[in-house]
Structure 1
Amino acid sequence: MKITIARRAALAGLPLALVAFAASPAQAKAPVLHVTRSVVIKAPAAKVWSVVHNFGDLTWVPAVKGSKASKGNHPGSVRHLDLGGPVLTEQLLHYNPKHTNYTYEIQHTANNMKILPVRDYVSTISVHRLGADETKLVWSGHFRRLDLSAHPKKGEDNATAVKAISGIYESGLANAAKLATK
């Protein structure tokens, strides 16, 4: 199994910013992109965590029709997301129920790259208690566009990658907020 620099950093508990990238010339032209979205929910943090905590069940995201994981919430677990036809595979890197967060990566496969216009994708979902009945749910990720060349093809550029991930995060957070306030 190929272990990426991002995965090594996550497994070692190191912030990715502290890891020196040994980028190829193509990667040097394709910047690391970041998307962070959040929502404040009028519900206790435990309730919000109960909606999003299960790595094996991402069906709180509207685009996901079915979801299962090989080892539940244990690092190394691989989840398969049925998107109503294509199946996306992701791997859990870090799971911390005490701090109500987990980090995962999209596996680098040809099939996954056909589904989402990104590569080197690592994401974290975290729940932050703001008050007794107020919680902030945050979904953040970093990745590169699919086409690493200096002049990426249409649909494989920075804007397309950011738009795709932003849409997933926004719809997922909105639905998680609805589920947590039922």
Structure 2
Amino acid sequence: MRYLKFLGVLIGVLIPAMALAHGPTRQKVTLAIDVAASPAEVWEVIGNFQDMSWHPAVHSSTGDGGNEVDATRVLTLGEEGGPTISEILYKYSDEKMSYSYRITDVLVEVLPVTNYSSHLTVKPLDDGGSQIEWRGAFYRGYPNNDPPPELNDEAAIAAVTGVYQAGLDALAARFGSSN
């Protein structure tokens, strides 16, 4: 009987504690923009995994493997010697004008995320223009409970949204907006 009472107390304490002890949840960001250029024109600029010079935050990109699965690239941000992000390509379709990649190495001070994966695609619009969609899924930069503000979910979402918006805005300026 004492054992059952002890077990009841233990369960009464552990279950509520376990409910409070959860880690971060996967966050998602999807942004899209319509541009006046044809999908082929847009894909010509953004379809090479090794070349991200179209993004204003990227100073340079180097890599190996072209557009083959498991190709890698290292993005240098801002200026020569700036912070870097290492990425690997895990899906590529020239026909579907899309590719998917993961970050393999980045300091959370540079981009406050972990387990980041992303997908970039170009789709035709009925009016002859294109829609560029960039979406990603990730966890915040601090994997434990009670993250500091610069590494919490909101900071991660804001950072990824900022990266995507800057890239899409640059493409809209290059190709013209589609209305």
Q: For the Cα contact (< 8 Å) 1:89–1:112, is it kept in 2?
A: no
The equivalent position to 1:52 in structure 2, one of 46, 56, 70, is: 46
Q: TM-score, normalised by structure 1?
A: 0.80
Q: Tell me if 1:180 matches 2:175.
A: yes
Give the Cα separation in 1 of the matches to 2:22 and 2:131: 34
Tell me the CA shift for residue 69 of structure 1: 1.7
Give the structure 2 partner of residue 91 of structure 1: 88
Distance 2:114 2:175 in 1: 31
Amino acid in the other structure paired with 2:160: I
Is residue 52–residue 176 contact of structure 1 (8 Å, CA) maintained in 2?
A: no
Cα distance in 2 for partners of 1:113, 1:57 equals 23
* 1:160 aligns with one of 144, 155, 166: 155
Post-superposition shift, 1:176? 1.5
In the other structure, the counterpart of 1:171 is: 166
- Using the TM superposition, give the Cα deviation of residue 89 of structure 1 relative to its aligned residue in structure 2, in angstroms: 0.5
Q: Distance in 1 between matches of 2:138 and 2:28?
A: 7
CA distance in 2: counterparts of 1:65 and 1:89, whole angstroms? 14
Equivalent residue letter for 1:67: S
Distance in 2 of aligned mates of 1:70 and 1:112: 21
Of the three residues 63, 71, 90, the one matched with 1:77 is 71
Count of matched residue pairs: 155
Shift of 1:132: 5.3
2: CA distance between counterparts of 1:88 and 1:148? 19
CA distance in 1, matches of 2:108, 2:65: 24
Structure 2 CA distance, aligned partners of 1:150 and 1:49? 41
Specify every segment of 5 or more residues in structure 1 that has no aligned partner in the other structure, as ranges: 1-24
**Larger Cα-atom Rg:** 2
| Runs of 4+ displaced beyond 6 Å | none
Question: Could you tell me how far apart the structure 2 residues matched to 1:159 and 1:101 are?
Answer: 28
**Ranges in structure 2 where 5+ consecutive residues have no aligned partner:** 1-18
Q: CA deviation at 1:178?
A: 2.3
Counting aligned pairs with the same residue, the percent is 31
Kindly indicate whether the alpha-carbon contact (under 8 Å) linking 2:112 and 2:141 is maintained by their aligned counterparts in 1.
yes
Aligned letter for 2:59?
K
SS in 2 for 1:173: helix
Aligned-partner Cα distance in 2 for 1:120–1:170:
20
1:124 corresponds to: 119
